[in-house]
Structure 1
Amino acid sequence: MKQVDDFFNDLTEPNKSFLLALKHIVQQHIPQLQLSIKYGLPFFTINGRLFCYFWTHKKFNHQPYISFMDGHRMQHPALLQEKRVRAKIFLMDPLADIPLTTVKQLLNEAIAFYKL
């Protein structure tokens, strides 16, 4: 977990607090997820499969986002595909409240593609 802690500790505010809160929400909503650092980013996995990760979007003023690895199968209108083949992202404003209802909807839609 030290790598995960280091990742979050190296972030600057407001993204640090925002992504730490988002991490807590994801872990509470789907306790089966495992968190580790893969490709330099905090990745959640389930049953050894990549589920989602957090990062910031360089083109959108470093807004934080959650990226769903099976996003190409998801239909939620708030998701952006951009030039990604498989993943879709959900951008969020770190100065606003986390859109809890939307995040939980996305987590529920994404977890449906995994056998628990």
Structure 2
Amino acid sequence: MQKSGFYLRSEEPNKSCLLALRDIILGQDEEITETVKYGMPCFCYRQKMFCYLWVDKKSKRPYILFVEGKRLNHPELKSEGRARMKVLQIDPEIDMPIELIVLLLNNALDLYRKGIISVS
């Protein structure tokens, strides 16, 4: 899939951060696909929504929204009042915590890979 207007409309440093996050997410498994849902880049694992990228309205920082975040436990993940999903905020002004991002993405993917969340 081509990069959506979401990335191209974003201003620096968010644009570079979001594009890097996109590459990291897509690089975790060959069965991850990208689409757009609700105007946001959405990443699916075997056609099942698994995470989104978005920018927080207040802080203006990018974040990864994990669809099954309630099943993930890490102090950096915040529910922010959501019942099911959790977010990992990313500060585009500093080096990205790539190891943490990869760990959380794979923890989330394992929910699908191991059948905890069913995929068709």
Q: 2:61·2:92 contact (CA, 8 Å) conserved in 1?
A: yes
1:72 pairs with one of 49, 70, 73: 70
Q: Which amino acid aligns with 1:78?
A: E
How big is the alpha-carbon RMSD for the aligned residues of Structure 1 and Structure 2? 1.3
C-alpha displacement at 1:57, in angstroms? Answer: 1.1
Identity of aligned residues (%): 39
TM-score after normalising by structure 2: 0.89
The list of structure 1 runs, each at least 4 consecutive aligned residues, that deviate by more than 4 angstroms after superposition, is: none
Identify unmatched segments of 5+ residues in structure 2: 115-120
Q: 1:56·1:64 contact (CA, 8 Å) conserved in 2?
A: yes
Q: Does 1:87 align with 2:76?
A: no
C-alpha displacement at 1:97, in angstroms? Answer: 1.3
Q: Counting helix residues as a fraction of each chain, which structure ranks higher?
A: 1
**1:1-116 residue pairs with structure 2 within 5 A?**
1-2=1-2, 4-59=3-58, 61-115=59-113
Task: After superposition, give the CA deviation of every residue in 1:62-106 in whole Å (9 maximum; x if it has no partner).
Answer: 111001000000011110001111110000101111101100110
